[in-house]
Structure 1
Amino acid sequence: MQTVQIVIGLAIILFTYLDFFHTTLSGNGFGIFSRIINQILNRIMIQNRSRSIFKFSGITHLLLTTFLWMLLLFIGTYAVFSAEDSMVVNGTTGVPATVPERFYYTGYVLSTLGVGDFVPGTDTSRVLTGILSFSGFILITTGLTYLLSVINAVLEKKQLSFLISTMGKDVEEIFNFYKQQEDLENLISNAGDLRQQILQNASSYLAFPMANYFLSKNHESALILQLARLHEVIMIIRLDWRQESVQYKKLTAILNGIKKYLELGLEDAGAAKHNEEELKTYRSYWMKHGYYFKNEKAVDEQFSSSLKYAGWNWKEVYKLKEEE
């Protein structure tokens, strides 16, 4: 039974570190546990009718995920040190530690502090104490480094969102901004940089997935909303150009960058209900400019999911400035 408990404790610790390192260092998104926890928390926040809670979303996700990692690590470590009486003893008398004292010892081992009043009582316990105290240090330092990287990714996300918002406050203003340029000189000259920034933010989904849960209640700083508006406008103005033209190819490159951003997102295309007829109604807006929007179902479904779980929807995408 003692060996089984040690194995179970070590299994919990191993699972915790696999999830932790997959999330913070792998560059391949959340671990299974972290993904589930953050998706559940995101859905709870989105159900709140007031967007004022959004300003606490990112820090809530970070703190809760970190707390759960530490809790699992603590539970696993405590299970190991509670496997048998002699695992932890009083440093002076050699008497086996009580339950509260083992709890106390576990906390000090993981924090790498230690005061010497309680010590490991067996060779197995000594080896495990050395390993676990070192692993606690790794979790703390790696977690702090990851936090700084997430904050940097959030700032880059807002920077791109603000850049797009300077082109116009709604789809109509963005459309007019580009239609005033007969050959799209401004857009074409900056297409490479814009696409690069979009792809750079897309990579943040994988490297720092936590950054996606820093939600915004403002249009100007909501990247997915701004990308949806830009996507709709570019899909329309691209219709003015032949496929072999430089303009068409540059516009397509930007659209491909947006698609890649969506593909690397945290939400699957089917995560939210997609109302195709409702979207067609919103896109009928372009008919007043003489355009008919050609739907791409896969992209539309992905946008619907991404918008919903960032606190937005297609109505907000097509909402004009004077309606706000």
Structure 2
Amino acid sequence: MPEAAVALEKFKSFFSNFKEVLIKLNAMDSLQIIGGLVVIALTFLDFFHTTLSGNGFGFISRELNRLLNRLIIRNRSRSIYRYSGLAHLLITTSVWLGLLFCGAFLIFTAKEEMVVNGSTFLPATEDERFYYTSYVLSTLGIGDFVPGSETSRILTGILSFTGFILITTGLTYLLSVVQAVLSKKELAFFISTLGGDVEEIYQFFKKDQNLDGLLSDANDLRKQILQNASSYLAFPMTNYFLTKKRNSALIVQLAILSEVLMVLRMDWKEGSIQHAKLCTLINAIEKYLDLGLEGPDKDLHNQEKLDTLRSFWQKYGHTFKKSTEMDRRFTSSLYYAGWSWKEVYKMKEQL
């Protein structure tokens, strides 16, 4: 306990001294320092919400990535898709670093004494303060420029620590995103092995009259879908790793699987084990969509076109019900991944 008391006293003394130094500065200088601290605080709030909260993007990252995604989707060539994930990661990280740098630079330019030459102790120029800010945030220090006041020394220590946190946490987040992307592709490839299009997958399951094979794999498949849904929420950046290949696009493969499951469910009465198992799989897919980044966009959904595509099932004696919320969510998710319902119903020979 004595050690805890000493640490508490040091903590109080630190902020007391910091407050006294701020009071000595004129109002404009204090406002500039406070402004820089606010920029840094907002940056880290967005950074930690995105990387550690498990609840999707922070406000800045969400709007930035949505804008970037729309710019990529509007590009008519899908060759750019292979670089989409990399672009999102690099640009988002650059914005975090840029905001952190701007906040720190505001602080170090607030007063002449904030940064001085290490030999002459003369105030540094703006170019030299830019140089000093870069070295502080990279946690390096050559010593040619040093803090020139108590306030600057305190803030230099804090900012060098924040730079270290952003870099190390960012690298950990990067590895987690890559792992989540690989998991998405693994599930997409698994579904694609069941058949090359909706008809092949339907016929694959219909070969087994009681759906014994599907029922035995249902729990494992449902678990994989829900795991990817959780990754979708925890690492929303994975949604922006686009692909131009249908068999590796999870949203397309889930749409294909969902359509087949909806048709298969029509063959079974409520209360049967087959109907119940099919419902659990459909519910898992619906949960994946609920946790997605894109809400249903009414302007994108065209029920008439979807009904036309679904008329394919009439040859098997099935007719789909009218539009559902799930249909609208699929439409939006497909669109913002660079796909459409037309490609979901594209036959293998048309690929």
TM-score range, shorter chain: over 0.9
Residue 146 of structure 2: SS of its match in structure 1? strand
| Structure 2: stretches of 5+ with no match in the other structure | 1-27
2:182 paired with 1:155: yes
Q: 1:221-264 CA deviation, whole Å, 9 max, x = no partner?
A: 00000000000000000111111011111100000000000000
2:166 paired with 1:139: yes
The aligned counterpart of 1:47 is 74
- CA shift, 1:24, in A, is 0.3
Count of matched residue pairs: 324
Determine which of 5, 9, 33 is the counterpart of 1:6: 33
Q: 1:130-155 CA deviation, whole Å, 9 max, x = no partner?
A: 01100100000000000000000000
304-313 vs 267-276, which moves further = 267-276
Amino acid at match of 1:65: T
User: Could you tell me whether the CA contact under 8 Å between 2:303 and 2:323 is conserved in 1?
Assistant: no
- CA shift, 1:296, in A, is 4.4
The aligned counterpart of 1:244 is 271
Q: 1:117-142 CA deviation, whole Å, 9 max, x = no partner?
A: 11111111111000110010000000
Amino acid at match of 1:58: G
Whole-angstrom CA distance in 1 between matches of 2:118 and 2:249: 56
Q: 1:24-49 CA deviation, whole Å, 9 max, x = no partner?
A: 00000000000001000000110111
Amino acid at match of 2:136: V
Determine which of 251, 255, 265 is the counterpart of 1:224: 251
The aligned counterpart of 1:278 is 305
Whole-angstrom CA distance in 2 between matches of 1:190 and 1:176: 17
The aligned counterpart of 1:71 is 98
The aligned counterpart of 1:23 is 50
The aligned counterpart of 2:134 is 107
Whole-angstrom CA distance in 2 between matches of 1:140 and 1:120: 23
| TM-score of the pair, normalised by structure 2 | 0.91
Determine which of 213, 216, 239 is the counterpart of 1:186: 213
The aligned counterpart of 2:237 is 210
Runs of 4+ in structure 1 deviating by more than 6 angstroms, as ranges, are none
Whole-angstrom CA distance in 1 between matches of 2:138 and 2:253: 43
Residue 297 of structure 2: SS of its match in structure 1? helix
Determine which of 260, 268, 287 is the counterpart of 2:287: 260
- CA shift, 1:295, in A, is 3.5
Whole-angstrom CA distance in 2 between matches of 1:323 and 1:201: 29
Determine which of 92, 97, 107 is the counterpart of 1:80: 107
Q: 1:65-98 CA deviation, whole Å, 9 max, x = no partner?
A: 0001000000000000000000000111110000
Whole-angstrom CA distance in 2 between matches of 1:137 and 1:126: 17
Residue 32 of structure 2: SS of its match in structure 1? helix
Residue 240 of structure 1: SS of its match in structure 2? coil
Residue 119 of structure 1: SS of its match in structure 2? strand
The aligned counterpart of 1:170 is 197
Whole-angstrom CA distance in 2 between matches of 1:270 and 1:122: 55
Residue 55 and residue 272 in structure 1: after superposition, are their counterparts in 2 closer, same or farther (change >3 A)?
farther
Residue 272 and residue 102 in structure 1: after superposition, are their counterparts in 2 closer, same or farther (change >3 A)?
farther
- CA shift, 1:323, in A, is 1.7
Residue 89 of structure 1: SS of its match in structure 2? strand
- CA shift, 1:322, in A, is 1.3
- CA shift, 1:316, in A, is 0.3
- CA shift, 1:10, in A, is 0.5
Amino acid at match of 2:288: Y
Q: 1:170-215 CA deviation, whole Å, 9 max, x = no partner?
A: 0000100101110111110010010000000001121111011000
User: Could you tell me whether the CA contact under 8 Å between 1:89 and 1:96 is conserved in 2?
Assistant: yes
Whole-angstrom CA distance in 2 between matches of 1:295 and 1:227: 20
Residue 269 of structure 1: SS of its match in structure 2? coil
Residue 217 of structure 1: SS of its match in structure 2? coil
User: Could you tell me whether the CA contact under 8 Å between 1:272 and 1:308 is conserved in 2?
Assistant: no
Amino acid at match of 1:75: C
Whole-angstrom CA distance in 2 between matches of 1:272 and 1:4: 45
> Sequence identity of aligned pairs in percent?
62
- CA shift, 1:273, in A, is 1.2
Q: CA RMSD in A?
A: 0.8
- CA shift, 1:272, in A, is 5.2
| Structure 1: stretches of 5+ with no match in the other structure | none
User: Could you tell me whether the CA contact under 8 Å between 1:201 and 1:261 is conserved in 2?
Assistant: yes
User: Could you tell me whether the CA contact under 8 Å between 1:57 and 1:215 is conserved in 2?
Assistant: yes
Whole-angstrom CA distance in 2 between matches of 1:69 and 1:6: 19
The aligned counterpart of 1:124 is 151
User: Could you tell me whether the CA contact under 8 Å between 1:272 and 1:304 is conserved in 2?
Assistant: no
| TM-score of the pair, normalised by structure 1 | 0.99
Whole-angstrom CA distance in 1 between matches of 2:270 and 2:241: 38
